[in-house]
Amino acid sequence: MKNKILEKRKLAYGVHEFWIENPIVSKNAKAGQFVIFRLYENGERIPLTISAVNKDSFRVIVKAIGKSTYELCRLNKGDFILDVVGPLGMPSEVKYYGNALVIGGGVGIAAITPIVKELIKEKNNVDVILGGRSKEYIILENEFKNANNLYIVTDDGSLGEKAYPHQFMEKMIQEKNYDIIWAIGPSKMMKACSEVAKKHDIKIWVSLNSIMVDGTGMCGGCRVRIGNKLKYTCVDGPEFDGRLVDWESFEKRLNQYRKEEKIALSKYLQEVGEPTWL
Amino acid sequence: MAVKQRLKTIERNPNERNKDFNEVNLGYTQELAIEEAKRCLQCPNPTCVQGCPVGIDIPGFIKKIAEKDFEGSYKVLKKYNSLPAICGRVCPQEIQCEGSCVLNKVGQPISIGALERFIADWAINNNIEEDIIPEKRINKKIAIIGAGPAGLTTASELSKAGFSVDMYEVFHDVGGVLIYGIPEFRLPKSIVKKEAQLLKKLGVNIFTNIPVGLAIHPKELLEKYDAIFIGVGAGTPKFMDIEGTELNGVYSANEFLTRINLMKAYKFPQSDTPVKIGEKIVVIGGGNTAMDAARSALRLGANVTIVYRRSENEMPARKEEIKHAKEEGVKFQTLTQPVRYIGDENGNLIGIECIKMELGEPDESGRRKPIPIPNSNFIIEASVAIEAIGTNPNKLLLSQFDGLELNKWGYIKADEFGRTSIEKVFAGGDIVTGSATVILAMGAGKKAASVIKQALY
Ligand SMILES: Cc1cc2nc3c(=O)[nH]c(=O)nc-3n(C[C@H](O)[C@H](O)[C@H](O)COP(=O)(O)OP(=O)(O)OC[C@H]3O[C@@H](n4cnc5c(N)ncnc54)[C@H](O)[C@@H]3O)c2cc1C
Ligand SMILES: Cc1cc2nc3c(=O)[nH]c(=O)nc-3n(C[C@H](O)[C@H](O)[C@H](O)COP(=O)(O)OP(=O)(O)OC[C@H]3O[C@@H](n4cnc5c(N)ncnc54)[C@H](O)[C@@H]3O)c2cc1C
Ligand code: SF4
Ligand code: SF4
Ligand code: FES
């Protein structure tokens, strides 16, 4: 298992696409599942959603936000990833629902690509909303050509409508009946979309990016409260009904290591200088 | 009859060792080992052997130590136990071999564990290796799932018997709890590494980073292999699930220990994985895992208290570990049960509300049942709480294994030899018994290997 980087492409500032050779992952991966990378001895374990597969390789799209993802984005075609574990997590519950609305925000767009593809295969009518801070962050737009409708919204209006995804979603729900919704992106977006879905009483799947260690159900660090039950994101999820997620504690847990993350990144930047590769 | 006192092993000074992760117990010198070995009565009907789950010829290997034939002693040991350097260190000897030694009646038992460790270490230091060429090659393929003590033992036994063995492990390293749970200061990881190297030499194919169930479906394994051994451990931590369990700073012992042991968080920021320490850490529970978590936390500079709902007498941890923890400075607050975690506005733990307990009548476990004393609530300040209250079966594989029968606690149903409800599929270790011991897991692996051999030879 060599985990060679076959292709690498910059999609936006700090957002990079990687194709990694690993037949075990590519052969078994289903929509909604993820992998965990470790770049070197003493490196952290980094969970990443599997965004596509092709023969012996699979794709991840990485947003650089801290030391480990900065380092990952610095790797190039021909380099190797020390450890790749996967696929992990439960696959998305893809089946025939009827009308489906799928919302992707930021790098969350990478996560919805396989779900949209599968939903279409199951003969659903799929409408897609892509959201981003600005034009630059709307990625992979041409991978949604087979959707019934594709809408784009940006926070600053530089592409598509100027709106937040949940605002646009509200508008669409008023115009059309949806049987199922997926929303994957920053937690603020997933939370807002879940509130809208709850109001309209429609089931909504969100994919939680809890802080993980093993990803195998062994540590309990990724626990979230789902409708009063403790669940482990890595083995019970990562997708849950957004209407039942305890968003407040989920978001607080994401900030657990803020202080340590800052230390790690500034130490790294002192060592390597300007991250010109981002 | 005057019986000599058992000879003590060399232990590092508590105030020195509680600041680093180096091994606490340095074992015997050659002279001490020989002296201690000479104390053994060489009983014709050795009761100690009955206390050892793998039935090591204890008088046999001890006799060779007394005769200074260390290599001969090692050969005796290895016939019964493929991981003596590990068992000598972590077996609960006081309730097993040493607990059954006849000398208990008149004085102190032989230090069997320390002698076993002495010989194993001696063999490692002198590069003594057993003859590892199997008598014949057998054209049958075995899959081992999980590389903890159960899987490692089964793999080694079957490989020595000439089978072709593929071992699958989801982590990046082999060893199971030996590498992510039991801390370095009790069991140096270099010893586990050594055992892994030996397996590779034996010709076992080790595939790490493979979550069996998701990356390889059990059906595929059943098609590809002549027998499958499951040794995936107990693995999933329980939480008390009291108010505030989501707060930052609340850990399971598994997470806390994994961050430190496997991910080397004690070296942060030289290593990338962080762990919260803060000034005051409370560890909840009274087992070995609680002691390991408490002693690890202490080494990272915290002020550590163990909170346990019964009294010290009922603690399931080894007496020696309780003693070590106390010597090093861990405080004990017994007859105390947490009822609620208290957090600040950022979701960080700041305190634990507890209630005092008293002991009532014995319960199913035979231990006196703790009963809360009404209105005795009080608050302990803490920025980190570590729950060490037990585990449940890990479902990662089991949820994918159609037709595999489980018992009422969700562990795999298997007979004494590890036979499960599916032909060709065997299981052993914590995933069958629930959380137990290293030597029991190894014993289970050995038994399963013996029936697999019988079935496939
Ligand atoms: C199931 C899952 C799928 C994910 N998919 C993607 C993806 O497709 N693309 C992508 O860019 N990111 C994805 N993430 C998030 C990604 O794992 C984190 O951004 C990354 O681990 C951050 O590491 P860092 O050192 O760069 O940042 P840090 O400075 O360590 O942390 C920055 C932020 O990342 C989060 N984080 C830190 N450590 C972890 C960890 N071990 N596990 C999870 N989150 C952590 C923290 O909440 C923190 O706010 C996913 C996370 C999960 C759990
Ligand atoms: C902190 C702590 C301290 C302990 N101290 C002692 C002690 O002092 N003495 C003692 O005798 N016992 C001790 N124990 C108990 C002892 O470690 C266990 O009983 C023993 O390790 C069980 O062995 P096992 O092989 O059954 O499982 P494990 O050691 O749990 O190994 C199982 C392995 O399977 C892997 N795995 C799980 N699922 C999959 C999958 N789907 N695919 C691939 N791989 C998988 C896991 O990653 C793991 O490596 C302690 C336990 C803990 C947690
Ligand atoms: S394996 Fe464990 S129980 Fe058996 S003799 Fe050795 S230390 Fe004692
Ligand atoms: S019971 Fe004790 S004295 Fe007798 S053989 Fe065993 S170790 Fe030696
Ligand atoms: S990451 Fe450890 S249990 Fe989910």
Of A67, A250, A252, the CB nearest to B272: A67
How far is Cα B442 from Cα B457, in angstroms, rounded to an integer?
22
Contacts of A84 in chain B (CB under 8 A): 209
Could you tell me the pLDDT band of residue A76, with boundaries at 50, 70 and 90? very high
What lies within 8 Å, CB to CB, of B71 at 6+ separation is: B123, B128
How far is Cα B454 from Cα B62, in angstroms, rounded to an integer?
32
Amino acid (one-letter) located at B409: W
How far is Cα A214 from Cα A234, in angstroms, rounded to an integer?
8
Judged by average pLDDT, the poorest of A18-32, A112-126, A252-266 is A252-266
Phi, psi angle pair for B25, to nearest 5°: -100, 125
Contacts of A28 in chain B (CB under 8 A): 214-217
Across the interface, do A85 and B396 touch by the CB < 8 Å criterion? no
Task: List domains and CATH numbers for chain B.
Answer: 10-126 (1.10.1060.10), 141-235+393-456 (3.50.50.60), 236-387 (3.50.50.60)
Pocket test for ligand 4, best of B45, B98, B102 (most atoms within 8 A of CB): B102
Task: Determine what percent of chain A is predicted with pLDDT higher than 70.
Answer: 100
Q: Helix axis angle, B149-160 relative to B189-202, nearest 10°?
A: 30
- DSSP character for B204? P
Question: Which residues of chain B, if any, have pLDDT below 70?
Answer: 1-2, 130-135
The answer to whether the CB of B439 falls within 8 A of the CB of B86 is no
Amino acid (one-letter) located at A244: L
B216 interfacial to chain A (CB closer than 8 Å): yes
Amino acid (one-letter) located at B7: L
The answer to whether the CB of B36 falls within 8 A of the CB of B114 is yes
Ligand nearest to the CA of B37: 4
Of A28, A216, A264, the CB nearest to B272: A264
Q: Under CATH, what is the fold of the domain A99-255?
A: Rossmann fold (3.40.50)
**Residue B255 Cα: closest atom of ligand 5:** 2
Following DSSP, what letter does each residue of B249-294 receive, concatenated? TEEEHHHHHHHHHTS-GGGTTSSS------SEEEEE--SHHHHHHH
Nearest to A242, CA basis, from A202, A205, A200: A205
How far is Cα B290 from Cα A43, in angstroms, rounded to an integer?
27
Contacts of B255 in chain A (CB under 8 A): 213, 219-221
CA distance to B136, B140, B193, B194, per residue, from B198 (Å): 19, 21, 9, 6
By C-alpha distance, the chain B residue nearest A91 is B214
How far is Cα B247 from Cα B350, in angstroms, rounded to an integer?
9
Chain position carrying tokens 């340590």: A260
User: In 10 A of CB B376, how many CB atoms?
Assistant: 13
Total number of residues shown for chain A: 278
User: Candidates 2.40.30.10, 3.40.50.10490, 3.40.50.300, 2.60.130.10; correct CATH number of A4-88?
Assistant: 2.40.30.10
* Domain ranges for chain A: 4-88, 99-255
Nearest to A26, CA basis, from A66, A59, A61, A53: A53
Distance B110 CA to ligand 4 centre (A): 7
pLDDT value at residue B268: 87
Pocket test for ligand 4, best of B57, B58, B73, B111 (most atoms within 8 A of CB): B58
CA distance to partner chain B, nearest, from residue A216 (Å): 7
Whether the per-residue pLDDT at A179 is higher than 90: the answer is yes
Distance B180 CA to ligand 5 centre (A): 13
pLDDT digits (tens, 9 = 90+) for B106-119: 999 999 999 999 99
Fold match between A4-88 and A99-255? Answer: no
pLDDT value at residue B294: 95
Residue A222 assigned ligand-binding role = yes
Of A43, A83, A218, the CB nearest to B394: A218
Nearest to A102, CA basis, from A87, A119, A88, A90: A119
ipTM value for the complex:
0.92
Distance A232 CA to ligand 1 centre (A): 16
Of B170, B245, B264, the CB nearest to A216: B170
Disruptive mutation site among A65, A212, A219 for chain B (greatest number of B CBs within 10 Å): A219
Amino acid (one-letter) located at A38: R
Residue A73 assigned ligand-binding role = no
Whether the per-residue pLDDT at A160 is higher than 90: the answer is no
Amino acid (one-letter) located at A142: N
A45 interfacial to chain B (CB closer than 8 Å): yes
Total number of residues shown for chain B: 457
Establish whether residue B3 lines the binding site of ligand 4, counting it when its CB lies within 6 angstroms of any ligand atom: no
How far is Cα A61 from Cα B301, in angstroms, rounded to an integer?
39
Distance B393 CA to ligand 3 centre (A): 26
pLDDT value at residue B132: 67
Residue A219 assigned ligand-binding role = yes
How far is Cα B334 from Cα B224, in angstroms, rounded to an integer?
53
- DSSP character for B95? G
Ligand nearest to the CA of B316: 2
CA distance to partner chain A, nearest, from residue B9 (Å): 33
Over residues A257-263, the mean pLDDT reads 90
Amino acid (one-letter) located at B194: K
Helix (H) / strand (E) containing B10: strand B10-11
**Per-residue buried b or exposed e for B51-79, using 16+ beta carbons within 10 Å of the residue's own CB:** bbbbebebbbbbbbbbeeebebbbbbbbe
How far is Cα A256 from Cα B278, in angstroms, rounded to an integer?
13
Ligand nearest to the CA of A211: 1
Nearest to B273, CA basis, from B261, B264, B282, B281: B264
pLDDT value at residue B108: 92
- DSSP character for B172? S
pLDDT value at residue B20: 86
Across the interface, do B264 and A42 touch by the CB < 8 Å criterion? yes
**Residue A212 Cα: closest atom of ligand 5:** 1
The larger pLDDT score, comparing residue A42 to residue A94, is at A94
In three state form, how does the secondary structure of chain A look?
Answer: CCCEEEEEEEEECCEEEEEEECHHHHHHCCCCCEEEEECCCCCCCEEEECCEEECCEEEEEEECCCHHHHHHHHCCCCCECCEEEEEECCCCCCCCCCEEEEEEECCHHHHHHHHHHHHHHCCCEEEEEEEECCHHHCCCHHHHCCCCEEEEEECCCCCCEECCHHHHHHHHHHHCCCCEEEEECCHHHHHHHHHHHHHCCCCEEEECCCCCCCCCCCCCCCEEEECCEEEEHHHHCCEEEHHHECHHHHHHHHCCCHHHHHHHHHHHHHHHCCCCCC
How far is Cα B78 from Cα B54, in angstroms, rounded to an integer?
11
Ligand nearest to the CA of A112: 1
The answer to whether the CB of B429 falls within 8 A of the CB of B150 is yes
Of B171, B214, B263, the CB nearest to A87: B214
Whether the per-residue pLDDT at A1 is higher than 70: the answer is no
pLDDT value at residue B131: 64
Across the interface, do A260 and B274 touch by the CB < 8 Å criterion? yes
Strand partners for A224:
A231
